Amino acid sequence: MVSGDNLVFLKSFEKIFKKYEIVRNALILPGKISEYNKVHLAPLNEFRNALFHIFKSLENNKNIEYEHNAALVHYTRAQYDAFEIFINENVLYINTAFNDYDCETVNDIFCKYYDEILPKINELKYSLTVERTQRRKDTEKATELIFDKFEMVADFVSEIDEHKKLLPEETKKRKRKKSVFFLKGSLLALLTGIAVGLIGAICYVLFNK
Amino acid sequence: MMNQISEFEKKFIERLDKLKGLYNEVNNVIILHEYITGEFYLPPIVNFRTFSDLMFFCFKKKDTQKLDIDFQNMEATLNEAGHGTLDSLLSKIIDEIDLITDRFEHEVLERITDNYSEVKLLIKKAKKYVELFINDKKKILNKSFIDSFNEFKEIPKFYDQLINKGHLLNSYQKERDTDKRFSLLNSNIHNLIIGAVSTILTFILINSFAEDILNHLINKNPVDTSPVELNFPIDTNSADTSDFVLLFDSKKDINTLKSRDTVLRLR
């Protein structure tokens, strides 16, 4: 490579490097937030494509900038894919997060779940499909848009996780309350029965005299 | 704005440029794997991500002293990606090649590839490579991937030919079987004709030359001319000698008794 071309290469490689750091974090971040920490193919494939363009730029000095821009687009797509996968997986997680618990209990301790989170998540599902078509036209813009949604979902997930911790204790409390209530009722019925029986016996004795 | 390139940056580009060849070959084997198996093979893609991490981390550090070690690690990652993919590809192909080639004869397979014998040897080598990859992965990873890939390049090509020309193999085999049957039939007919001809010839020969042969054999043995002592009672004066002569009526017998004296003496 000619030294002048080295300069061109380094200049755009610096850009790619900055983008890569952001994208790499985007890939790691979902794993930190949610328990859904799997290796996903789509962003990795974009990494592969980006690397292909970086090496291609070393082959032809005239196309350095063109190839590096292509690599940038692939990294942006990787970022988009990482966010999209995170959202899709967590939409499912949010929807089924409280399936094991009583609706009333959930509503009592975390009413936001039914009032705000679930309606927003349903809206999000529809808007995601629209943004996916947008991605092809302007990847950068689509990634910015999806990042807002990613943040929103990430907030929801952390809120749900916090409240989920409270739920077993709350359920136990409710069960205890219910059993105390049942016991009290039974005792009251028993006492009432005894009392009625006693009064009846007394009345019988008195009237028979 | 950057106007000058540091020593690190210069070396970085140089070393990256050197890795270009290896990267291209690894990419080729991945594409080949996808093309032949129709599957997306994940491990080398994960290796590529690790490679990207190492590359950008090295660029971030800008440590000239550690540049060599970083690039050695990068090369090892690419090497691992390549070997892993090649191993997966070969292990999948070899089994299928064995299944197909077992059904056909060597000559039939040679009609698809001229160098089938070489490919057969290569497949044996590839089996050892796959075995070694399972038992001693480190030993394989220390080898150059490019060398291994170049060594076994013909196997995927052969497999591709087997798959694409597989429909021809059956007809080639049928043709060969028919040819074999015909040649067997031909040789049988040939043998039969030879047998018949030889029988007829022998018969004719014996018939026409038997007499001469016998004569020849007899002539070879000299006739005993010593006087014969007749033990049966013959009265030469009273007996009817014509009866006696009758014994020699046959020309043959007379010919054999060349000596006139003997006859006279008998008389």
* Inter-chain touch B5–A10, beta carbons under 8 Å: yes
Residue B1 is assigned to a structural domain of this protein: no
Residue B259 is assigned to a structural domain of this protein: yes
**What confidence category does residue A8 fall into, taking pLDDT thresholds of 50, 70 and 90?**
confident
* Inter-chain touch A39–B46, beta carbons under 8 Å: yes
Torsion, CA A118, CA A124, CA A125, CA A127, rounded to 10:
160
Stretch B94-112: mean pLDDT: 84
CA atoms in the 13 A half-sphere facing the CB of B147: 6
Is residue B242 pLDDT above 70, yes or no? Answer: no
* Inter-chain touch B42–A39, beta carbons under 8 Å: yes
* Inter-chain touch A6–B45, beta carbons under 8 Å: no
Handedness of CA B79, B81, B86, B87 (dihedral sign): positive
pLDDT of residue A29: 76
Shared domain check, B21 and B144:
yes
pLDDT of residue B99: 87
List the structure tokens of B116.
Answer: 């089938």
Segment A113-128, tens digit of pLDDT: 999 999 999 888 888 8
Shared domain check, B208 and B105:
no
Is residue B85 pLDDT above 60, yes or no? Answer: yes
Shared domain check, B138 and B199:
no
Shared domain check, B256 and B190:
no
Interacting residues of B145 by C-beta distance below 8 A, sequence separation 6+? B22, B25, B26, B78, B79, B82, B83, B86
Query: What's chain A's Rg over C-alpha atoms?
Result: 31
Stretch B169-178: mean pLDDT: 79
How much of chain B is in helix, strand and coil states, percent to nearest 5? 80, 0, 20
pLDDT of residue B246: 45
pLDDT of residue A53: 94
Segment B6-47, tens digit of pLDDT: 889 989 999 999 999 999 999 999 999 999 888 889 999 999
DSSP letter for each residue of B60-85: HHT-HHHHHHHHHHHHHHHHHHHHHH
Answer yes or no: are the C-beta atoms of B258 and B223 closer than 8 Å: yes
Shared domain check, B262 and B212:
no
Mean pLDDT across chain B, nearest whole number? 81
pLDDT of residue B77: 95
- The rounded distance, in Å, linking the Cα atoms of A43 and B43 is 14
* CA-closest candidate to residue B93, choices B36, B135, B140, B134: B36
CB-based contact, A86 to chain B, within 8 Å? no
Give the number of domains in chain B.
3
Check: complex ipTM more than 0.90: no
Nearest CA in chain A to B28: A52
Stretch A33-57: mean pLDDT: 84
pLDDT of residue A184: 92
Shared domain check, B184 and B113:
no
Lowest mean pLDDT among A137-151, B5-19, B127-141: A137-151
Percent of chain B with pLDDT over 90: 36
Query: Looking at B164, B187, B207, which one is the last position of a domain?
Result: B164
- Nearest CB to B45; choose among A6, A7, A45: A45
pLDDT of residue B109: 81
Chain A positions in Cβ-Cβ contact with residue B24 (cut-off 8 Å): 55
Q: How far is CA B141 from the centre of its chain?
A: 35
Is residue A33 pLDDT above 80, yes or no? Answer: no
pLDDT of residue B227: 58
Nearest CA in chain B to A51: B52
Is residue B264 pLDDT above 60, yes or no? Answer: no
**B interface with A, Cβ–Cβ below 8 Å:** 2-3, 5, 9-10, 13, 16-17, 19-20, 23-24, 27, 40, 42, 45-46, 48-49, 51-53, 56, 59-60
Any idea where the domains of chain A sit in the sequence?
Answer: 3-173
pLDDT of residue A129: 81
Q: Where are the alpha helices (DSSP H) in chain A?
A: 3-33, 41-59, 64-96, 103-109, 112, 118-137, 139-208
Answer yes or no: are the C-beta atoms of A85 and A40 closer than 8 Å: yes
Stretch B129-156: mean pLDDT: 90
Angle at the Cα of B42 from the Cα atoms of B36 and B48, rounded to 5 degrees: 110
* CA-closest candidate to residue B96, choices B42, B145, B158, B31: B158
Domain span at B228? 222-267
- The rounded distance, in Å, linking the Cα atoms of B16 and A16 is 15
pLDDT of residue B56: 93
Shared domain check, B61 and B187:
no
Residue B2 is assigned to a structural domain of this protein: no
pLDDT of residue B1: 43
Is residue B243 pLDDT above 60, yes or no? Answer: no
Stretch B131-136: mean pLDDT: 90
Handedness of CA B53, B59, B63, B69 (dihedral sign): positive
Shared domain check, B235 and B208:
no
Answer yes or no: are the C-beta atoms of B81 and B131 closer than 8 Å: no
A129 Ramachandran zone, left/alpha/beta (phi>0; psi -120 to 50) = alpha
Shared domain check, B141 and B52:
yes
- Nearest CB to A58; choose among B20, B46, B48: B20
Chain A 10-69, CB below 8 Å of chain B: which residues?
A: 10-11, 13-14, 17, 20-21, 24, 39, 41, 44-45, 47-48, 50-52, 55, 58-59
Is residue B217 pLDDT above 80, yes or no? Answer: no
The model's pTM is 0.68
pLDDT of residue B32: 93
Q: Which residue has the tokens 């790619």?
A: A16
Is residue A43 pLDDT above 80, yes or no? Answer: yes
Chain A positions in Cβ-Cβ contact with residue B56 (cut-off 8 Å): 17, 20-21, 24
Burial level of B83, CB count in 10 A (0-12/13-18/19+)?
buried
Shared domain check, B144 and B95:
yes
Chain pair A-B, CB pairs under 8 angstroms: 60
- The rounded distance, in Å, linking the Cα atoms of B159 and B96 is 8
Segment B140-152, tens digit of pLDDT: 888 899 999 999 9
CA atoms in the 13 A half-sphere facing the CB of A104: 3
- The rounded distance, in Å, linking the Cα atoms of B80 and B88 is 12
Count of CB atoms within 10 A of residue A10's CB?
19
Segment B62-74, tens digit of pLDDT: 888 999 999 999 9
Q: How far is B5 from chain A (nearest CA, A)?
A: 7
- The rounded distance, in Å, linking the Cα atoms of B154 and A146 is 47
Residue B246 is assigned to a structural domain of this protein: yes
Lowest mean pLDDT among B83-87, B111-115, B180-184, B208-212: B208-212
* Inter-chain touch B13–A3, beta carbons under 8 Å: no
Chain B positions in Cβ-Cβ contact with residue A45 (cut-off 8 Å): 40, 45
Handedness of CA A57, A58, A60, A65 (dihedral sign): positive
* CA-closest candidate to residue B84, choices B42, B128, B40, B22: B42
* Inter-chain touch A50–B52, beta carbons under 8 Å: yes
Stretch B246-257: mean pLDDT: 51
* Inter-chain touch A1–B13, beta carbons under 8 Å: yes
